[in-house]
Amino acid sequence: MVRYHKQTRILVAIDCIIFGFDGSELKLLLVQRGLEHEKGKWSLMGGFIQKDEDFVEGSARILNELTGLEGVYMEQLYAFGDVNRDPIERTVSVAYFALIDIHKYEKQLNEDYHAEWFPIKDTPKLIFDHQQMVDMAKEKLRYKAAFHPILFELLPEKFTLPQLQSLYEGIFDYQFDKRNFSRKLQSTKLLVKQKDKDKESSKKGAFYYKLDKRRYAANFHAFLNLIPNPGNLK
């Protein structure tokens, strides 16, 4: 086989930033590093890309090996290439981020794995440049969520408007007017009102909604103004 001579070949890793929502706050999934160096320290789900797998396959494999999770929505975030980002040996890392409903994957994510959810506002010190990755992922999530209906990936199939609003409020760290919020989200036509209510969090109960799957698929990339005052974003 013909090859490119005299070029440096480098380790290529994939690191996954997994965001989850438990109904009240945004969380981050971390594992304790198994490799020797920095063993036991908290880390993103990471691993090296293999000879015959592309990034999509690699990220799915790494996530599955470390957490047991499967079928999770993932999106490329950024490639990190600082020369000394891994002190052992130069490693380029392609970071992916994922959004999941914590409860949906509760059983998959069992004790066989040393993965643990941390509130996004209270995470432990991370190895390498993983904190930088998390910060960038948070920023991208906020940016994207302001204009695209992406946060539904964090919710269970059935959810209430108050739940949806507190998810948005958690992510944007801002209190929205519930009348305006409701009107805006309803105007996307993505929500289908159910006949039953969630009676957990109030006496009156809040009607469940489901996503209109067809419209959701069609509007996933569409531009919607989902939050007030987007001018504050960067």
Partner DNA sequence: AATATTAATTGTAAAAAAAACACTTATTAT
Partner DNA sequence: ATAATAAGTGTTTTTTTTACAATTAATATT
Q: Site residues (CB under 7 A) for DNA?
A: 160-162, 177-180, 182-184, 197, 199, 201-207, 225, 228-229
CB-based contact 132:46 (threshold 8 Å): no
Residues that bind a copy of itself (CB under 8 A): 1-4, 7-12, 35-37, 48-55, 58, 76, 78-79, 81-83, 88-92, 94, 221-224, 230-234
CB of 52 to a copy of itself, least distance (A): 6
73-80/91-101 β-pairing? antiparallel
Which residues have CB under 8 Å from 204's CB, separation 6+?
A: none
Q: How far is the CB of 133 from a copy of itself (least distance, A)?
A: 13
Residue among 85 and 142 whose Cβ is closer to DNA: 142
171 sits in which H/E element = helix 161-172
Of 17 and 109, the one with the shorter C-beta distance to a copy of itself is: 17
CB contact at 8 A, 142 and 104? no
Residue 59 near residue 18 (C-beta atoms within 8 A):
no
CA distance 88 to 83: 11
Select from a copy of itself, DNA, none the partner in contact with residue 55, using the beta carbon and a kind-dependent cut-off of 5 to 8 Å. a copy of itself
- Judged by beta carbon distances under 5 to 8 A according to partner kind, the member of a copy of itself, DNA, none in contact with residue 195 is none
